[in-house]
Amino acid sequence: MSLFDELKRRNVFRAGIAYAVIAWLILQVADVVLPILGSPDWLFRGLLLLLAIGFPVALVIAWIFELTPAGLKRETEIDRSKSPPNDMGRHIDFAIIAILVVLVGYFAYDKLAPSAAADKSIAVLPFVNMSRDPDQEYFADGLSEELLNLLAKVPALRVIARTSSFSYKGKDEATIADIGSELNVAHVLEGSVRRDTGGTVRITAQLIRADNQSHLWSETYERELRDIFAIQDEIAASVVNELKVRLLGDVPTARQADLEAYSLYLQARELSPEIDPERAIGLYRQALAIDANYAPAWSGLAENFIYLAEKVRLESLRKVLAVSRCHSDAPLENDADSSYYVDEAFKEARCAANKALKIDADQAIASVSLGRIAMVRDSNFAVAAKHMERALELEPANAQILRQVAILSANLQRVDEAVALLEHAVARDPISPSVHNNLALNYYYAREWDKSVATYRTVMNLSPNPVGVQSWIGLALVFDSQAEEALAEIKLERHPDKEKDHNERRPWRLIAEAMAYHALGRAVASDDSLEQLIDGYGDEWGFSVAYVLAYRGEADRAFEWLAKARDNNDSGLSEIAVEPAFDNLKSDPRWLPFLESIDKGPGQLGAIEFSVSLPD
């Protein structure tokens, strides 16, 4: 008899399977019960180690002994001619079947039962400013966000991102139960802050269960302002303890900083980057003038310079770059065109991000900023991938980072991966217009027109009059062969402020109009929209001009404008591999050589190492 047959006869394989299934069940029960009992983390790790050690012991016991009607006997003591064959095997089979039935029932219930918010989930609402000075609002908001960021670093805790949590600011009509349901969280942390002129602070925090609005924990802290970081640590530790969250290490703690620099940093963060990036940059610089080693302020600078560069806010760029710069002491070329200022802004952003990481290598926002620069400015996806991986490693649940990682995944032609990342980000930040906007765009890249339109409409519900969204809805409808409906949507892409309409919305409207008119066979109207786009925005929007021409089947002109976009280092080229409008060029013999000339060929993109996995 072979060794395999003997192992089979002695039920070693069955015993191994039964042990593994039972051990898994024990660990599942322990993972739920031990935190409730307040057991230390080492107890679960010890149980895991014990069960692992027990596995080979179980196999040895199965080899040596057999379960008989008379009890457990050594294999050598059993008379095979007088005992029922493989009696122990039948017992083990029954046990395995029974356990599998339990598991199937458990998984069926888990998948089919109505979903409820995971118990280890929380939204941190903006703390109410109770100070006499209403200008201290930034301090209350900043404290709330700092607590949110601390809790988000606990891997076992699902924390809703700032955009969604802060959307309830000033909405007194929303109950805790409403908020819990809308954000799909089991708990809400809220509170108030009163900062007195004498240098003291009074902070009240309370943790509430969302479904029944019961208070699980509350505390009031009356301390000197210099103790603000210790208070943050205490609140975070109390929340983690109350939620019985299993930790792999210590509770994350707040970063110590000069109080004046910290105050300026909070004010800057309240404004950046969408609200007032120009003013935010000034405040970050004031913070750094007090503490040049304050890494978060350097990260904030990088983030805001990227924003201004990508939006081509020329007047703002001239103002913020006229002040002393990080990357150069050389005087600015005052008569230079917009591309010069955009280039200077990206250099400033790179310098600031590198300074942040030199001071603190764990600055995730600085890493993602360098990844963004490498992706859209340097067109170096390999370098971008390394920075993005690092940012995701540091803060795997950060919706802002997930968005940027998804953008790189899409640009690498991994659109399915990008969609999965963004759908996960939506779960973390369900009321964020920007996350939904990116998800809609990736549905567009995936040629899922209905989903793209529906998600863009969600963006419009979450944000009043968002820039470009009506035009993107129109583009999706054009590709879905609904050109009349598309044109009606595109016509709605207007802003009552003529200056804002001209600078921000008109280019998107002209792009979409040119394509919709072409789909309707209205050549003169399509030409008119395209000419207006070229005359007004050709220098900065060369990539967009190229994809309108590609959609219209004008390959020669499309390649001319693609060459211009390459010469101008147009950031739109990062999306060239997935943009549907270029489908008409893919059979052209010039297409592949052009992609390879900008390092975007299929083989070049496929060779880039970029390992991304969805966070838990």
Helix (H, G, I), strand (E, B) or coil at 37: coil
CB count in 10 Å sphere of residue 303? 25
Q: Which residues pair with 73 in a beta bridge?
A: 66
According to the model, what pLDDT value does residue 116 have? Answer: 43
Each residue's pLDDT tens digit, 530-579: 999 999 998 889 999 999 999 999 999 999 999 999 998 888 999 999 99
Confidence category of residue 187, pLDDT binned at 50, 70, 90: very high
Q: Residue 229: pLDDT above 50?
A: yes
According to the model, what pLDDT value does residue 114 have? Answer: 40
Mean pLDDT of 430-438: 93
Measured in residues, the chain has a length of: 616
Mean pLDDT of 420-448: 94
Residue 276: phi and psi, rounded to 5, are -150, 75
Residue 173: phi and psi, rounded to 5, are -75, -15
- CATH classification (class only), 430-606: mainly alpha
Cβ atoms of 605 and 413 within 8 Å: the answer is yes
Cβ atoms of 468 and 505 within 8 Å: the answer is yes
- The residues, ordered by sequence, that sit 6+ positions from 126 with a Cβ below 8 Å of its Cβ are 140, 141, 144, 165, 166, 168, 169
Mean pLDDT of 435-444: 96
Confidence category of residue 103, pLDDT binned at 50, 70, 90: low
Domain ranges of the chain: 3-112, 121-242, 259-366, 430-606
CA 406 to chain centre: 8
Confidence category of residue 250, pLDDT binned at 50, 70, 90: low
Using alpha carbons only, give the angle 15, 18, 24 rounded to the nearest 5 degrees: 135
According to the model, what pLDDT value does residue 35 have? Answer: 59
Cβ atoms of 15 and 92 within 8 Å: the answer is yes
Q: Which CATH superfamily is domain 121-242 in?
A: TolB, N-terminal domain (3.40.50.10070)
Q: Residue 8: pLDDT above 60?
A: yes
Each residue's pLDDT tens digit, 231-249: 998 998 888 888 876 555 6
CA 323 to chain centre: 33
Whole-number Å distance between alpha carbons of 24 and 107: 14
Out of 68-72, 163-167, 267-271, which region has the weakest mean confidence (pLDDT)? 68-72
Mean pLDDT of 603-612: 93
Cβ atoms of 182 and 430 within 8 Å: the answer is yes
Please report which helix (H) or strand (E) contains residue 252, including its range.
Answer: none
Q: Which residues pair with 128 in a beta bridge?
A: 192
Each residue's pLDDT tens digit, 493-514: 876 666 666 667 889 999 999 9
Six-digit token pair at 70?
């008379």
Six-digit token pair at 468?
């470009």
Whole-number Å distance between alpha carbons of 437 and 439: 5
Six-digit token pair at 221?
């802290």
Longest dimension (CA), the chain: 104
- The residues, ordered by sequence, that sit 6+ positions from 140 with a Cβ below 8 Å of its Cβ are 126, 127, 128, 129, 130, 131, 192, 193
Each residue's pLDDT tens digit, 350-409: 999 999 999 999 999 999 999 999 999 998 999 999 999 999 999 988 888 999 999 999
Q: What percent of the chain has pLDDT over 90?
A: 55
Q: Residue 331: pLDDT above 90?
A: no
Q: Tell me the CA distances in angstroms from 428 to 49, 185, 190, 237, 423, one per residue in order.
A: 33, 10, 18, 21, 9
| CATH no., domain 259-366 | 1.25.40
Q: Which residues pair with 201 in a beta bridge?
A: 195, 223
- The residues, ordered by sequence, that sit 6+ positions from 492 with a Cβ below 8 Å of its Cβ are 470
Whole-number Å distance between alpha carbons of 495 and 201: 43
According to the model, what pLDDT value does residue 335 have? Answer: 76
Q: Do the domains 259-366 and 121-242 match in fold?
A: no
Cβ atoms of 148 and 131 within 8 Å: the answer is no
Out of 40-54, 347-361, 362-376, 450-464, which region has the weakest mean confidence (pLDDT)? 40-54
- The residues, ordered by sequence, that sit 6+ positions from 233 with a Cβ below 8 Å of its Cβ are 150, 251, 253, 254
Please report which helix (H) or strand (E) contains residue 466, including its range.
Answer: none
According to the model, what pLDDT value does residue 241 have? Answer: 83
Q: Residue 115: pLDDT above 50?
A: no
Please tell me the number of Cα atoms within 13 Å of 453 on its side-chain side. 16
Six-digit token pair at 561?
């404008």
According to the model, what pLDDT value does residue 112 have? Answer: 45
According to the model, what pLDDT value does residue 96 have? Answer: 65
